[in-house]
Amino acid sequence: MNALPSRQLPWWQKLVFLFVQLIGFVLLGLLIGLLLELAGDQLLPSHWLEGELPALIWGWSVALCSALTAAYILVYAQSKEGWAALGFTTTKFSIGLQTGLLVGGGIILLCFLILYLGDWVNITQVTFVPGAFAGWCLFFMIQPLAEEVIMRSFLQNQVHRYFGAWPGLIVSALVFGLLHVGNNAFSWIAGLEIVLGGLLMGQLYLFTQNIWAPFAMHAIWNFLQSTVLGFAVSGMDTYRVLHLEIAGPEWLTGGDFGIEGSLLSVLFIFAAILYFWPSANNEAPWSKLEAERLFFLPEKPIHESDSV
């Protein structure tokens, strides 16, 4: 039986091919993004992008379209695989969403309840503005999906293709952490938590074999933490329904960085990582498509001259 061709290459060729793919993704994504920005300048009324939230939604929409298009073009050119290879499948769609929502929402709510019951955070005001609530809800669907396309559909997939599941998980988690280093109020606890969070979302990707679980975890995590419960999210302030007075130490509450800067979050994410640990034995969605082409065909054609 044949092995996946990408796994048979010498290590240095794997590194070269991976590097070429990454450079191509960055350059193609930047080009597509530039074209979309130019089109937006020509077609969109200027007042549509006035204000922080509309500008954020437009900017991350461009990032999402650019990342999706670049990933699709490169993966199709690489192996003639389509959307399913990027994790955009209907298989286990509802399971993926439910798993991500349960894991992400469960951890955030547990952290909040512990802090609230311990009197480390107090609710001082409740303000519900439907337009702002809906706007930030939309933003926290677009932005996490864009990041998950970059981290999971492309980076984790490509490293996994050449080097296996654990390298894919670790590299994508470390890159995810590095992308947040410059955020406001960043700390070593926040860095550890974000790396572990990236690892967990990578595990969910392999566990459910689609992008919907890590996307759902990422989206509910950001939206629930900030817009609903009133914390910062990775150091960024948003509109919030609950206004909080934070009285506990930063290592416990996360301070100005949000719950990602809390050791509570680190502990709960680590527990989830242990639970989903066996998922690293799974191949990525693209590998099944490649295997179907390779494993279920004869090793070589059978000719009449081969028969006895």
**Given this model, what pLDDT does residue 287 score?**
66
Rg (CA), the chain: 22
Residue 24 belongs to some domain of the structure = yes
**Torsion sign across C-alpha atoms 152, 156, 161, 166:** negative
Run of H or E residues at 243? strand 242-246
The pLDDT of residue 302 is 41
Residue with tokens 């996994």: 160
Asked whether residue 299 is domain-assigned, the answer is: no
Domain for residue 40, yes or no? yes
Predicted model pTM: 0.90
pLDDT digits (tens, 9 = 90+) for 233-262: 999 999 999 999 999 899 999 999 999 999
Buried b (16+ CB within 10 A) or exposed e, 288-302: bebeeeeeeeeeeee
d(CA 273, CA 196): 8
- Would you say residue 300 lies in a domain? no
Please say if the pLDDT value at position 294 is more than 80: no
Whether 96 is covered by a domain: the verdict is yes
Section 293-306 average pLDDT: 43
- In this prediction, residue 112 has a pLDDT band, given cuts at 50, 70 and 90, of very high
Residue 92 in any domain: the answer is: yes
Q: Using one digit for the tens of pLDDT, what is the confidence trace for 11-36?
A: 889 999 999 999 999 999 999 999 99
For 165-181, write each residue's pLDDT tens digit. Answer: 999 999 999 999 999 99
Count CB atoms within 10 A of the CB of residue 7.
12
185-202 residue pLDDT tens: 999 999 999 999 999 999
pLDDT at position 288 is: 62
3-class DSSP assignment, residue 246: strand
**Rounded to 5 degrees, what are φ and ψ at 123?**
-85, 120
Q: Which pLDDT score, from 0 to 100, does residue 51 have?
A: 86
pLDDT in tens, 205-233: 999 999 999 999 999 999 999 999 999 99
- Segment 33-60 mean pLDDT: 90
Please tell me the predicted confidence (pLDDT) of residue 9: 80
> Which pLDDT tens digit goes with each residue over 123-167?
999 999 999 999 999 999 999 999 999 999 999 999 999 999 999
- Give the pLDDT score at 286: 67
Residue 297 has pLDDT above 70, yes or no: no
* Owning domain of residue 139: 5-293
The pLDDT of residue 53 is 93
Average pLDDT, the chain: 90
- Distance between CA 177 and CA 104 in Å, rounded? 17
Residue 235: φ, ψ to 5°: 85, 0
Does the pLDDT of residue 303 top 70, yes or no?
no
What pLDDT shows up at residue 5? 62
Domain count, the chain: 1
Residue 46 forms part of a structural domain: yes
Residue 298 lies in a domain: no
pLDDT tens for each residue of 60-109: 999 999 999 999 999 999 888 889 999 999 888 999 999 999 999 999 99
pLDDT for 284: 77
